[in-house]
Amino acid sequence: MNKIILKVPGINGLGKTNGCEKAPDEILKSLEEIYSNGQGKILDRNSLEIRDIPIDNSDVEKSNEEIYSNALKIFDNEEKAIFLGGDHSVSYPLTRAFFDSCKKEKKEPFLIVFDAHPDCMEAAGSKEGREVPTHEDWLRSLIESGFLSENVLLVGVRNKDKHEADFLKENKINVVPMDSFVEDFESTCDFITEFSDSENGDLYVSLDIDAADPAFAPATGYCEPGGLSSKEFLYIVQRINKIKNLKALDIVEINPEKDADGRTVKLGARVLSELI
């Protein structure tokens, strides 16, 4: 199965994520300085298949349609994809395409999200008339559109408001808090990698860089202390990449404009190096 990298420089963070649109190019530029990954694999940047999804951030609705249609073609062609965002709003059209592709193929969709926040904020307006989901409510929008909440696993959440906490509880969304890693790191990793174990299921993984502690990834929208170390994050990514029914991943919320020493972009490039 081919593995394709797609640049998805979309932002819809109500002005809070401006700069994240530069992340795909900066991550790929940083990747040029990585000669081998943590597993010792020598990287050949020239052998990678890299594509662009056309984005016009002045027209969020049109951009979402472009992201959705391009992703759906990838999934329908049974290609494995790595999407480079952008802020977390791009995960809505990406996972919608994944969800719809699974329905067509009669496969059970699973979603694992690494994030310091649930991204289940209440959006203005009704469900029928809600605007294009932002980086703060995309997961809520996905579940309200029909994605089975019991097939969603949130990893690393450490800051949620009351409305989000109520939504998670009411919809029986699985959550792995940071304390679980402290209590038993390996068992927690086992649970994560076994979550989507299904003979007829596909897996999508969304990696918000703020799942990592801001000591290792400070250039993001909302820094939350108490996250994963870069070493832990990369180890988990290595294990996830070995999951047989893994269909796609995204890397989001890296803001090069805030990355004074390049630390966050470099971690994003390191994550990418473990996936290719």
**Strand ranges of the sheet holding 201-208, from the earlier edge strand across to the other edge:** 49-52, 3-8, 80-85, 246-252, 201-208, 108-114, 152-155, 174-176
Cα 123 to chain centroid distance, Å, stands at 20
Higher pLDDT pick, 124 / 34: 34
What mean pLDDT is predicted for residues 153-158?
97
Domain residue limits at 229: 3-275
The set of residues, in sequence order, having a beta carbon less than 8 Å from that of 168 and lying 6+ positions away, is 118, 120, 154, 160, 175
Residue 187 pLDDT greater than 70, yes or no: yes
- Burial letters for 123-161: b for 16+ Cβ neighbours within 10 Å, e otherwise? beeeeeebebbbbbbbbbbbbbeebebebbbbbbbbebe
Per DSSP, which regions of the chain are E strands? 3-8, 49-52, 80-85, 108-114, 152-155, 174-176, 201-208, 246-252
109, 110, 115, 107: which is closest to 89 by C-alpha?
A: 115
What total number of domains does the chain contain? 1
- Tokens (6 digits) for 200: 């007829």
Q: CATH number of the domain that 235 lies in?
A: 3.40.800.10
SS3 198: coil
pLDDT tens for each residue of 114-125 = 999 999 998 754
Q: 189 near 236, Cβ under 8 Å?
A: yes
Q: 102 near 108, Cβ under 8 Å?
A: yes
What mean pLDDT is predicted for residues 125-139?
74
10 Å CB burial of residue 43 (0-12, 13-18, 19+) is middle
What mean pLDDT is predicted for residues 9-34?
96
